[in-house]
């Protein structure tokens, strides 16, 4: 295997192994997502008909905030113990290694959040027929969010109160993800074709995948100096 792929796979494997050793960190965003969603019936109305109308917004804002919560720690420990410096010195493309880290982050937060969304959807009165659409749109959307968040996490590396700043930087950039994602979810709930917004989401994901690791690499390098 070419060393460049071997290095990428090693990073991926390391991240997944670390998460396996501390599963509580994977569970935290999921619990957060569930609690936030449960607050809406309590704060608004328990009527499923009304909840169904706001379900796309609730699911997307909840997933966005939950994945932001997990992003704060994306680079922190690796920056503190010098792992990121080793990455930078390894001779492999830094952006690719950070891309692998981002992918691992998505596998550990974005994907579980996506898989959890249908269950929360049921609690909001979403019909079962809408679930494949919700899964597809959240999978794409959370991936884009992870990519955007990696840039934000790199920029706020090692800052005091970095978490609040991270949200302030990332949330405005996430507007298109929310717009297209919530629309796709809405169409899925209404039982209509959601391919339009889904393609737009896919376009965003591809664009993010192309540019975000480069920006994240630049940001992390600045933070390491």
Partner 1 sequence: MGTTWTWFHRFGSPPHVYRLAGILTPWFAWPAAILIITGLYAGLVLAPPDYQQGEGFRIIYVHAPSAWLSVMIYAVMATAAGIGLIWRMKVAHAAAASCAAIGAWFTVVSLVTGMLWGKPMWGTYWVWDPRLTAQLVLLFLYLGYIALRAGIDDLGRADRASAVLALVGVVNLPIIRYSVEWWNSIHQAPSVMKMDKPSMPIEMLAPLLMMLVGLSLYFAAVLLVRLRAEILNRERQASWIKEVVE
Contact footprint for partner 1 (CB under 8 A): 151, 155-156, 159-162, 165, 168-169, 171-173, 175-176, 179-180, 183, 200, 204, 207, 211, 215, 218-219, 222-223, 225
Q: How far is Cα 71 from Cα 32, in angstroms, rounded to an integer?
A: 14
Q: In terms of DSSP H, where are the helices of the chain?
A: 3-21, 24-43, 48-71, 76-80, 83-89, 94-105, 111-123, 131-155, 162-173, 175-190, 195-224
Nearer to partner 1, 108 or 182 (CB): 182
The two tokens of residue 174 are: 């996430």
What is the nearest approach in angstroms of partner 1 to the Cβ of residue 204? 7
Give SS3 for 81.
Answer: coil
Nearer to partner 1, 123 or 169 (CB): 169
The two tokens of residue 160 are: 């005091």
What is the nearest approach in angstroms of partner 1 to the Cβ of residue 165? 5
Q: How far is Cα 118 from Cα 58, in angstroms, rounded to an integer?
A: 12
Nearer to partner 1, 74 or 151 (CB): 151
What is the nearest approach in angstroms of partner 1 to the Cβ of residue 71? 15
CA Rg, the chain, in Å? 18
What is the nearest approach in angstroms of partner 1 to the Cβ of residue 108? 24
The CA-to-CA distance between both ends of the chain, in Å, stands at: 32
Nearer to partner 1, 70 or 215 (CB): 215
Nearer to partner 1, 116 or 220 (CB): 220
Query: Residue 113, CB half-sphere, CA atoms under 13 Å: how many?
Result: 34
What is the nearest approach in angstroms of partner 1 to the Cβ of residue 26? 28
* Backbone dihedral angles phi then psi of residue 124, each to the nearest 5 degrees: -100, 10
What is the nearest approach in angstroms of partner 1 to the Cβ of residue 77? 20
Nearer to partner 1, 49 or 225 (CB): 225
């Amino acid at each position: 295997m070419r060393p460049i792929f071997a290095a990428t796979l090693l990073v991926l494997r390391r991240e997944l192994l670390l998460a396996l050793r501390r599963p509580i960190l994977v569970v935290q965003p999921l619990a957060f997502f569930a609690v936030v969603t449960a607050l809406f019936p309590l704060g608004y109305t328990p009527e499923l008909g009304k909840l169904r109308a706001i379900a796309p917004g609730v699911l997307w804002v909840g997933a966005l905030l939950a994945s932001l919560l997990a992003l704060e720690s994306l680079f922190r420990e690796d920056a503190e113990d010098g792992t990121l410096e080793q990455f930078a010195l390894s001779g492999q493309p830094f952006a690719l290694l950070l891309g692998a880290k981002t992918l691992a982050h998505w596998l550990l937060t974005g994907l579980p959040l996506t898989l959890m969304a249908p269950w929360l959807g049921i609690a909001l009165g979403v019909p079962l027929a809408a679930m494949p659409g919700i899964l597809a749109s959240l999978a794409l959307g959370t991936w884009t969010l992870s990519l955007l968040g990696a840039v934000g996490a790199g920029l706020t590396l090692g800052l005091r109160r970095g978490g609040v700043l991270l949200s302030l930087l990332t949330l405005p950039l996430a507007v298109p993800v929310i717009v297209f994602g919530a629309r796709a979810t809405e169409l899925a709930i209404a039982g209509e074709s959601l391919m339009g917004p889904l393609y737009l989401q896919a376009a965003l994901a591809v664009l993010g995948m192309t540019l975000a690791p480069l920006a994240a690499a630049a940001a992390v390098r600045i933070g390491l100096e």
